[in-house]
Amino acid sequence: MSANKLELGQFIHWDWGQNYPFNACMAKLMECLGGDTSLYTYEFFAGLSGDDYVMCYADNEKYNDCVSVCYDNEAFLAQVYGMIGLEYRLVKYAEWKADADLYYGFVKQFIDRGIPLLCAGVGNNFNYDLLTSYDDETTVCHLSCGDDVQYGRDIPFREIECDFVFIERLPEITDLAACYRNAVMQIPARMTADVTPNGVHFGAEAYRRWAADITGGRYDRYTAETFESWEHWCIYICNLATNGGHGEGFLRRAYELNPELTFIPELIALFHENDKVWNELESLGGGFNCTIETLHDKEKRAAIADVILKLAETNEKIVELFKHYGN
């Protein structure tokens, strides 16, 4: 019998605007593989993934957090990893469950080499974690999205509900400027992506759907006892607030490496419109301070929806900006 645990410490910092675990998990995984920590940062992966730029919304009682959560993980990972030439193997939940002993052995091999395993959750609470330990006596493994105090958990291996992503070597980036350029240029495609099978909308359409649901009475179904502030409201405020400026550093670095992308300063300014809207929402009681009583008030919720619609217009301007550059 043996056991091993990687002590990774806290590697996501919510108070820094690091709100999406995929990017924190990838930065830490690259560090464990010996990668350059000044390159493989949370912000680098948040730029590649589009998490810092794209609004997501759905009325589906699921965790509609960000691009990395809402997209199909197979297509999402192929696109993100393809931009940096990262080799990986995605093993779907049903596949490894069919031969759990074999994959438990693979997990042990990775942990013993000092490499955590990226886990893409399945079900309603889909998000990303790193699997960082095993214990042969109990088969319990430890999962962490980077904040063990709030979200770390120990789960018997066979009870873990996730797809596994095996990554055992660093990417071979031959053209860093192209990586940044390709990530920036995929922003409009992310913003205008088709609705997902479980009803998630993106970009301008996400804001329009959200505003329509607010005025149309989505929140009338909830009482003070059943309204989950974070899941039903604040998660979307967090999304729009993060999009206001957290991705600015990535865009500025992209501009440094690709000075021909002359539209980037205007792009940054458009994203900062989110900051203004966030402040307006807070003043209306429709930000992180929103209550179900406010959402039941037709006059107040109409005012909130009108402000949210401003960001639909801003997102459309962003998409148009890219079209003008392309012409």
Domain segments of the chain: what residues? 3-166, 176-326
Give the residue ranges of the chain where pLDDT is below 50: none
**Token duo for residue 312:** 């639909």
Residue 1: the pLDDT is 62
Do residues 175 and 280 lie in contact, with contact meaning Cβ atoms separated by under 8 Å?
no
The predicted structure's pLDDT at residue 92: 95
Nearest to 111 by CA among 31, 3, 1: 3
Phi, then psi, of 130 in degrees rounded to 5: -110, 130
pLDDT computed for residue 30 by the predictor: 98
- Sort strands 153-156 and 128-131 into parallel, antiparallel or unpaired: unpaired
Residue count of the chain, please give it.
327
What is the distance between the alpha carbons of residues 323 and 270, in angstroms, rounded to a whole number? 15
- The two three-digit tokens of residue 248, written as one number: 């600015």
42-49 and 21-32 helices cross at what angle (nearest 10)? 130
Q: What are phi and psi of 46, to 5 degrees?
A: -65, -30
Task: Look at residue 123 in the predicted model and tell me its pLDDT.
Answer: 59
Does the domain formed by 3-166 have CATH 3.30.2290.10? no
Distance between CA atoms of residues 205 and 190, nearest Å? 12
* Angle of helix 42-49 versus helix 176-185 axis, rounded to 10: 50
Amino acid letter, 7: E
At 218-233, the pLDDT tens digits run: 999 999 999 999 999 9
User: Cα(249)–Cα(42) distance, rounded to whole angstroms?
Assistant: 11
Look at residue 197 in the predicted model and tell me its pLDDT.
87
The whole-angstrom separation of Cα 46 and Cα 247 is: 7
